[in-house]
Amino acid sequence: MTGIVHSATGQRVSPDLSEHTTNSQRECQYEMSSLSASFVQIPFDDIRFYENCGGGSFGSVYRAHWVPQDKEVAVKKLLKIDAEAEILSVLSHKNIIQFYGAILEAPNYGIVTEYASRGSLYEYLSSADSEEMDMDQVMTWAMEIAKGMHYLHAEAPLKVIHRDLKSRNVVLTADNVLKICDFGASKMVSHTTHMSLVGTFPWMAPEVIQSLPVSETCDTYSYGVVLWEMLTREVPFKGFEGLQVAWLVVEKHERPTIPSSCPASFADLMRRCWNAEPKERPQFKQILSTLETMKNDSKLPDQCNSFLHNKAEWRCEIEETLERLKQLERELSCKEQELEERERRLTEWENRLMERSRSCTPVSLASEELI
């Protein structure tokens, strides 16, 4: 029989087994906030698993069939049930993935949500179909993501910072609607604003990379990168490892390249989202207002469509930037090697000095080559 997990107590309640809690069942229990939320416990045997359809934060995602409901679902398998279920259980918005319940039978923990049959936005932007995108599509999806994020920050029962907004965590339903998913890295603001290092470097705000206290505008930064992806259909910092991106973003203040022919209103919005000072980035209410103004600009559709459909003319600008950054990274690597070599030779000199001191043999500092 389906049970309920109550947020106030964290207890699993079953009409038949409420007085017979085993050790394995106790492991299912976890600390919940005082928020008055509850979610359905779905028996593991009620789920028929199909293929792996991706990886979320801290778990793999499978397409599955929820047999009693005769419903196609997505199941994120987990090592344990954590705050993601609590967060999802209180969210309800057309641009947030719908949560159905959780599997709490050790070791088969999982989160069950609606299944988005068209895959992630990242997959779509990597496909040939994306070459047909026009401004109407970009604007519609930009608005949908912004509405979902505005809900999380300002309209949900408790403010939620996503912290891992990226094109892989935005999925496309059969009716072409975008939904934000994967809240494994998310935090309710009432819990803490000092975040550990989570997320994916090319989409992460500088303060998140540095594990500094954050505000909801760290999601604004990530939104700017997703908007850049939709406009360019490129991968941010393509070819760079995570720590290389972290160094470029934090130390060199680099951002994804905005081609010179990108419409000014889109370019300005992205730059505002990427401001190094979190307080200077727009809230999603402001972003939605900006997008509405852009929709009323009669000249923008022609400008945007010309940009979208003439990628061959400006793609070289992105490639040139990537090559410049690779050269910068190579120069840094050479300097690091030089410093390592100097450190090694200095250590050798110090060792020889110690040996000669023990043997009372005079040594001239000038006669030793340090560098």
Report the distance separating Cα 242 and Cα 226, nearest Å.
Answer: 17
Report the distance separating Cα 121 and Cα 176, nearest Å.
Answer: 11
Judge whether 160 and 150 are in contact, CB under 8 Å.
no
How many CA atoms lie within 13 Å of 146's alpha carbon, on the beta-carbon side?
22
Judge whether 328 and 252 are in contact, CB under 8 Å.
yes
Q: Is 169 one of the annotated binding-site residues?
A: yes
Question: In 3D, which of 316, 164, 338, 324 has the Cα closest to residue 248?
Answer: 324
Report the distance separating Cα 15 and Cα 345, nearest Å.
Answer: 73
* Strands in 98-196 per DSSP E: 99-105, 108-114, 160-161, 170-172, 178-180, 187-188
Q: Which residue has the tokens 């070819």?
A: 239
Residue 13 phi, psi (nearest 5)? -120, 120
Q: Is 302 one of the annotated binding-site residues?
A: no
Q: Is 272 one of the annotated binding-site residues?
A: no
Q: Cis omega before residue 213 (within 30°)?
A: no
Q: Could you tell me how far CA 164 lies from the centroid of its own chain?
A: 2
Produce one character per residue of 319-348: b if its CB has 16 or more CB atoms within 10 Å, e if not.
eebbeebeeebeeeeeeeeeeeeeeeeeee
The full DSSP string for 25-62 is HHHH-----SS--EEEEPPGGGEEEEEEEEEETTEEEE
Question: Catalytic amino acids?
Answer: 164
- Rounded to 10°, the helix 300-308/135-150 angle is 100
Q: Which residues are annotated as a binding site for Mg(2+)?
A: 169, 182
Q: Give the annotated binding-site residues for ATP.
A: 168
Residues annotated within a binding site: 168-169, 182
